[in-house]
Amino acid sequence: GLVAVIVICTRQLGNNGGEFGPQSKVSTAYSRSQLVTGSATVPGGMPDLPSIPNKAEYIRRAVNFAKAVGWDAGGEYEVKFVRGVFGLRFLEVQNDDYTVDFDEVTREIRVATSKSFHRQRHDLSIKISEPEAAKLAKQYLKAAGLSLDNAKLQGNKPVLYANNDCLWRVTFKRMYNGYPYSNDGALVTLNPSDGSLVGFGYHFKSPKPLSTDV
């Protein structure tokens, strides 16, 4: 398949989620009106949510993932419901260093973000190669327990912005019989200097198409 590595450059980049994360653009911040804890009600008329089950298990999985990708897994943790991409509801685990969002139904990790990365200044000069970036992206998704079966790496285009600060993005597109899903895929954001994980968004949830006829 095609190796897809896109360099996105901007000083204020946030959540890696991107096209497949909690918002349609790269941003660390959820709308505060979309955050709920326990059985609280989301402003805007959403019904009361149930209590969060198995908090300790979600924290354990988030900690294991954080350790696997080199994030700081220490400190206190909070677990809460958030409204994610396409209106889906996620269970979010976070400490001071990072957030991990779990699909409420499948229990897959769907979004992960290094919060500490965006609180610090970094050397964001490009020192990793396209093959290295693609390999690291696959490793990080594997650490999250996520499959790239029936997925294709896409694109290979550096995009430079005025301030010349860069993040490295690797994109995967979910395929069905050679046809891409319009909304399904994964986006992994890396520090271009050392390949460390800034975050990712993963959405492989759309039903199989009834037909691939055009």
pTM comes to 0.75
Q: How far apart are the first and last CA of the chain?
A: 23
DSSP output for 57-104: HHHHHHHHHHHHHT----S--EEEEEE-GGG-EEEEEE-SSEEEEEET
Domain assignment present for residue 42? The answer is: yes
Phi, then psi, of 156 in degrees rounded to 5:
-165, 75
Nearest-angstrom CA–CA distance, 157 and 82 = 33
Domain assignment present for residue 210? The answer is: no
Structure tokens at 177: 């019989």
Domain assignment present for residue 196? The answer is: yes
> What is the CA angle 99-65-193, rounded to 5?
80
| Res 132: pLDDT | 92
Domain assignment present for residue 70? The answer is: yes
Per-residue pLDDT reduced to its tens digit, 22-47: 332 232 222 222 333 333 333 343 44
- The number of distinct structural domains making up the chain is 1
| Res 155: pLDDT | 56
Owning domain of residue 44:
5-203
Domain assignment present for residue 125? The answer is: yes
Higher pLDDT, 90 or 6: 90
Rg of the chain, C-alpha, whole Å = 17
Domain assignment present for residue 74? The answer is: yes
- In this predicted structure, the answer to whether residue 148 has a pLDDT above a threshold of 60 is yes
Domain assignment present for residue 117? The answer is: yes
Which DSSP symbol is given to 130?
H
Q: If we measure between CA atoms, which residue out of 21, 97, 101, 15 comes closest to residue 58?
A: 101
Domain assignment present for residue 211? The answer is: no
